[in-house]
Each structure stands twice: as structure tokens, then as C-alpha cells.
Amino acid sequence: MAQLIQSEFKPPWWLVSPHLQTIWPSLLRSHPLPDLRWERVELRDGDFIDLAWQDAEGPLVLLLHGLEGSLESHYATPLISALRSTGFRPLFMHFRGCSGEPNRLLRSYHSGATEDLSEIVEILRRRGEPPQAVVGVSLGGNLLLKYLGESDHDSDIKAAVAVSVPFNLKSAAMRLERGFSRIYGRHLLRKLLKSYSNKCRTRSIPGIEDYSSIRSIYEFDDRITSVQNGFRDAEDYYNRCSCAQYLQYITTPTLILHAQDDPFMQPDDVPGLQELGPGVSLELSNRGGHVGFVQGSLPWRPVYWLDYRIPAFLKHAFARD
């Protein structure tokens, strides 16, 4: 049964601001790289996706990153370590072109590319080691929820967690053009343009003329993302790929963790109980920023709440299964 939950997360006195919650882990959190085994998976269309395995015992948990994310993202390797230490076997999936090498094809990863997740899940299933849980962060959370809500897939996933999800992609893009959030928008746009430029140069792919004139993520999606991936324009891309419309169809036990002060989104975009499928628990906190959720009584002793909450939910879900 769908449910809304008031989160137990409370920010510390020294990190109440949503912007500090968002920026602190990105700039100050150490995230040493654990011993991982890399694997390149060849896709049906001739492209590739790079996986990073943590060799461990336990249920396989697939991790999906956010926009322009990778193993270098502040939440990635700490979450891998947290999952392993609580009895899970983590597997990190890089989206196309996000592992340090541009992908081969004109098409790119995007917020709604569930066909890539579906293909990876199917490949792992054929090997006899399907992921039993999936965790998606930000863009990866949108993709995960869309995947779970689609009716044309069949998976062995027993539980899922989505963190700081942009439920409405257009609204999120617009939010990143206002106020202090413009800083995040500009930062992400620079990363997108750098990746695009590198891909065009490395793969000899013809790019659009004067892409340096692009000034917003909306423009990037309108002129590049949509063209590369078969959408008419940004509006078509956002309309078809925003996960909000898929939530009502989710039956897999799924936890969505979201802060009402997330500076990447509008508070009005948070779905209501009537929009949630029977498998969805939406856990809301008043504070936490975007993929922040930092606690701790003292500034030099921060506690990263997601590293505890996510494994705890998965443990509970598997115990009930």
C-alpha cells in the first residue's frame, strides 16, 4: 500500500541550509575508491556500458548515478562501502559515456533511457545473477522509477530506493535557472558541454554549430539531448521521460527519499499519496538539500544519513520478502 512517511532525518545546527547540505558532501566528503572490478558490457546497438563490481557476498544491488555522475560522485563509493558492510553485493552502473570514455554512438544517456537499464538487467539475469535491488540517485532515480512503472518489462527486482528525484524534468530544469540554484545549473551545464565537446572530438561525431552559445540545461536538452535521442525537442523529452506519470504503476517495494528544500526542484512537484503506486513509500524530510542528508553533532564529525537509511530499508524489504 502506498504511504507518505515523515522522515526522521534532522539536520545539525551547523548545516541547516539546503545549499550547505547540497554542497558540503560534494566538496568536503572523502570518498576513497574501494577495490573494484571493472567490466565493459557490449550493448545490442554497438555501444557499451561500464560496470564496476564490488566482489562480496549477498544480494546484488545495482547503483545508478545522477547527471554527469560516475564513481567520482560524492555518494558513490561511500554507498558501495555501506552496502557491502551490511551484507549486500554492490554493482555500480555507469550510463553511456560517463565512465571516463565517450560512448561510440550519437545517442547519449538521458533521464528516461530505461532500455539501457533493462538490457543490463537482462544480461545479468541470463548469467544467473540478476540484481535483486536497485538504488538510483537524482537522474538515476528518475530513470529507476520510470523503469519500475513501465509495463513492458519483467525483472527480478525485489526492492528499490530513489534519492532526490526530479519528478518533473522541465520544472527541475527551470528551477536550476533561478536564484542561488543557478550555480548548480551552470556547474552541470559546463560538465555537459565538456562531455559533449569531448565526444564530438573523440568519436568524430558532427556536433551542432556554436554549442558554446547554450546558456541553460533546458537549451542543452532542446538542442542536443533531444536530437541525439529521438525526441522532437526538450518539451517532448521532458513530457515522455518525467517519472511522475509512472509512479502510480509501481508495485515493487520502493522507497523514495526526498527533502522538501531540495534546491534542484520545486516543492510543488512532490507527488501526493494518490499519485503513488501500491509499492511506493515516499519519505519526506523538511531539510536535507539535494543528495545531502548530512547529520552529526559537530562539523568535523559529519554523519551521512543515506549510508544508513538505504541499507536499512533494503534489509527490511528482503526480510519481508
pTM equals: 0.97
Taking only the tens place, the pLDDT of each residue in 163-203 is: 999 999 999 999 999 999 999 999 999 999 999 999 999 99
User: Amino acid identity, residue 144?
Assistant: L
Residue 315, strand partner residues: none
Task: Find the DSSP H helices in 101-157.
Answer: 114-126, 139-149
Specify whether the CB–CB gap between 221 and 237 falls below 8 A: yes
- 18-46 pLDDT per residue, tens: 999 999 999 999 888 889 999 999 999 99
Listed residue (224, 173, 175, 169) closest to 196, CA to CA: 224
Distances (CA, A) of 90 to 93, 117, 163, 273, 308: 10, 16, 17, 31, 15
Three cell numbers, residue 117: 537499464
Cell 494518490 sits on residue: 274
Output the nine-digit C-alpha cell for 122.
Answer: 537482462
In the set 50, 221, 262, 269, the catalytic residue is: 262
pLDDT higher than threshold 60 for residue 253: yes
Catalytic residue among 138, 171, 181, 285: 138
Task: Identify the pLDDT of residue 167.
Answer: 99
Catalytic residue among 73, 116, 290, 307: 290
Domains of the chain from N-terminus onward: 3-167+245-320 (3.40.50.1820)
Q: Is 290 noted as a catalytic residue in this protein? A: yes
Contacts of 311 (CB under 8 A, 6+ apart): 82, 83, 86, 88
